[in-house]
Amino acid sequence: MPSRPIVLFTDFGYEGPYVGQMKSVLNHLAPDAPIIDLMHDVPHHRIQAGSYLLGALFEDCPPNSVVVAVVDPGVGSDQREPVMLKVADKWIVGPGNGLFSNVVHRTTGVEASVITWRPERLSASFHGRDIFAPVAAQISCGQLPANQACDVSTVANLDWPLDLSEVIYIDAFGNAMTGRRATTISGDEDIRIGDVTLARAPTFADVSPGVAMWYENSLGLAEIAVNQGRADQEFMLSIGSSVSTAKSKA
């Protein structure tokens, strides 16, 4: 049986050795597994923003894949346990700190387990390399590490809403992605940022350069943009900035 693809989702950034160290472990333990760098610029330490990003991205991860998701400001403490979730034919491995909450909200039949396996060498600050990568490699190769089944409510924050009316990510163009699915905003509603109201546009070409709007992005989320400009600078947006909706003016 071929190795399962391994998908990486972290807040490590692209600088420094951390992503490379994880991939070195994966290559050593699961040399035949395809490794996909889904995202390494999840907002640093922002578990909730990471949860909504992961929830939107998870559906398009390859069938039978193992997703290693790490946004773990509490690493090495007793604030959370290392966990793995089985979601249909896919697995997710990472910290049980709420990062998987939106995946749980969006899916059914999730099976959760606390990872009880530990390596001989365990850093207090890098469980991505020492626990999550080796566990993902084991699953990819058709093995399960030592684990204890648990209720999914112990590893996911079920009080978080299905949709989050906040900015969860700002891309290189200055576009501000929200945690709200575009389908939850009716055709007669605009997005509001403070006192500013933004109308929906199907594409960037539907507004003139310099004009702000919101649109449904490729993940199905509402995203705020300025055509050929930067919405984050124009509206002073950052991770966690609140947005709301209002009825469109006739």
Residue 21 pLDDT: 98
Residue 77 pLDDT: 85
Residue 110 pLDDT: 97
Residues in the chain: 250
Residues 40 and 135 in one domain: yes
pTM confidence score: 0.96
CATH at 198 = 2.40.30.90
Name the nearest CA neighbour of 93 among 187, 32, 43, 29: 29
Boundary-marking domain end, from 122, 154, 186: 154
Residues 149 and 217 in one domain: no
In a domain, 57, yes or no: yes
In a domain, 159, yes or no: no
In a domain, 200, yes or no: yes
What does the block give as tokens for 179? 């945690």
> For the chain, how many structural domains are there in total?
2
CATH at 15 = 3.40.50.10790
Distance CA 41, CA 78 (A): 25
What domain range includes position 40?
6-154
Residues 132 and 213 in one domain: no
Residues of the chain with pLDDT under 70: 250
Reported as type and span, the H/E element at residue 149 is: strand 147-150
Distance CA 13, CA 11 (A): 6
Residues 144 and 20 in one domain: yes
Give the full edge-to-edge strand order of the sheet including 189-193.
Answer: 196-198, 189-193, 244-247
Residue 242 pLDDT: 98
Residue 56 pLDDT: 98
Residue 105 pLDDT: 96
Residue 250 pLDDT: 58
In a domain, 1, yes or no: no
Residues 82 and 168 in one domain: no
Boundary-marking domain end, from 113, 128, 154: 154
What is the separation of C-alpha 222 from the centre of its chain, rounded to a whole number of angstroms?
A: 16
Q: CA quadruple 74, 75, 81, 86: dihedral positive or negative?
A: positive
Residues 146 and 53 in one domain: yes
Distance CA 35, CA 161 (A): 31
Residues 147 and 31 in one domain: yes
Instruction: List pLDDT tens digits, range 128-179.
Output: 999 999 999 999 999 999 999 999 998 999 999 999 999 999 999 999 999 9
